[in-house]
């Protein structure tokens, strides 16, 4: 039975350090159980803050970083190293400072990668990488935790409200004509997101209050479809939680 939990903390800085602490413990626990940990990273402002906070965390020293698999929930389909790529931002915020196994860092393809500007092929390539890691005929590996930012319009990953990509049932998809720049993106689909053991939706600031209030009141925005198999955890600062219905 999956549970939904809403955690509200005072501000964005405390949110980042709270999520970082939870993430470190989650990775340590997953490595104790499985030998490895599998984490899906998100992009956006709050994600970069969380990753920077991991750097300052004493508990991060308890993680065997060479046995962490990193995936991305979505990517802005831009050339490798572009500062707007979610991968570039994650590398700058944290990944370049860690003793990771490069073979376990599964960045989504760039628009100057093996498929050039063909985002559909790039999405298919990422689906193949996921399937290869999963093995045994399964499309996706175990995801211990899949983190998502939440857009002002209620989007998660590159799944935008009213966009046809929301209905995709494959493992990954290309998003064209994104309402938020850049227009072309690669994303995990709703079913792939929902395969994760835990989905964490992380948001800070007053601009996120309306969509989050809508979703937690039963409204249908993309963020409402992002649930974990075991747990769906909303990690919010007070401003983003302003419209959340009263908790029990
Ligand atoms: O473009 C994107 O935006 C969302 C939300 O970003 P934020 O800056 O408002 O926190 C992010 O979750 C997504 O990964 C990214 O591609």
Rounded to the nearest whole angstrom, what is the distance from the C-alpha of residue 23 to the centroid of ligand 1? 19
pLDDT tens for each residue of 87-109 = 999 999 999 999 999 999 999 99
pLDDT tens for each residue of 98-140 = 999 999 999 999 999 999 999 999 999 999 999 999 988 899 9
- The whole-model pTM stands at 0.97
Q: Is the CB of 149 under 6 A from ligand 1?
A: yes
SS (H, E, C) the chain: CCEEEEEEECCHHHHHHHHHHHHHHHHHHHHHHHCCEEEEECCCHHHHHHHHHHHCCHHHHHCCHHHEEEEECEEECCCCCCCCCHHHHHHHHCHHHCCCCHHHECCCCCCCCCCCCCHHHHHHHHHHHHHHHHCCCCCCCCCCEEEEECCCCCCECCECCCCHHHHCCCCEEEECCCCCCCCCEEEECHHHHCCCCEEEEEECCHHHHHHHHHHHCCCCCHHHHCCCCCEEEEEEECCCCCCCCCCC
Rounded to the nearest whole angstrom, what is the distance from the C-alpha of residue 17 to the centroid of ligand 1? 19
Rounded to the nearest whole angstrom, what is the distance from the C-alpha of residue 87 to the centroid of ligand 1? 12
Q: How do the domains of the chain map onto residue ranges?
A: 3-224
In the CATH scheme, what is the code of domain 3-224? Answer: 3.40.50.1360
Q: Is the CB of 45 under 6 A from ligand 1?
A: yes
């Amino acid at each position: 039975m999956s549970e939904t939990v809403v955690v509200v903390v005072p501000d964005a800085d405390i949110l980042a350090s709270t999520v970082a602490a939870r993430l470190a413990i989650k990775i340590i626990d997953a490595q104790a159980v499985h030998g490895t940990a599998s984490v899906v990273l998100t992009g956006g402002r709050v994600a970069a803050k969380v990753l920077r906070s991991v750097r300052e965390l004493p508990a991060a020293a308890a993680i065997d970083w060479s046995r962490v698999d990193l995936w991305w929930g979505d990517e802005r389909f831009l050339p490798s190293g572009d500062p707007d790529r979610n991968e570039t931002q994650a590398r700058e915020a944290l990944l370049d400072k860690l003793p990771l196994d490069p073979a376990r860092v599964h960045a989504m393809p760039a628009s100057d990668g093996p498929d050039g500007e063909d985002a559909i092929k790039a999405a298919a390539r990422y689906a193949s990488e996921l399937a290869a890691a999963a093995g045994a005929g399964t499309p996706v590996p175990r995801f211990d935790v899949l983190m998502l930012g939440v857009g002002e319009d209620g989007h998660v990953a590159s799944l935008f409200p009213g966009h046809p990509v929301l209905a995709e049932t494959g493992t990954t998809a290309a998003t064209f004509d994104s309402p938020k720049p850049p227009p072309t993106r690669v994303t995990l689909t709703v079913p792939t997101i929902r395969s994760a053991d835990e989905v964490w939706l992380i948001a800070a600031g007053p601009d996120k209050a309306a969509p989050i209030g809508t979703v937690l009141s039963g409204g249908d925005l993309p963020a409402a479809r992002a649930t974990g198999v075991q747990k769906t955890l909303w990690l919010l600062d007070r401003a983003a939680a302003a419209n959340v219905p009263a908790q029990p």
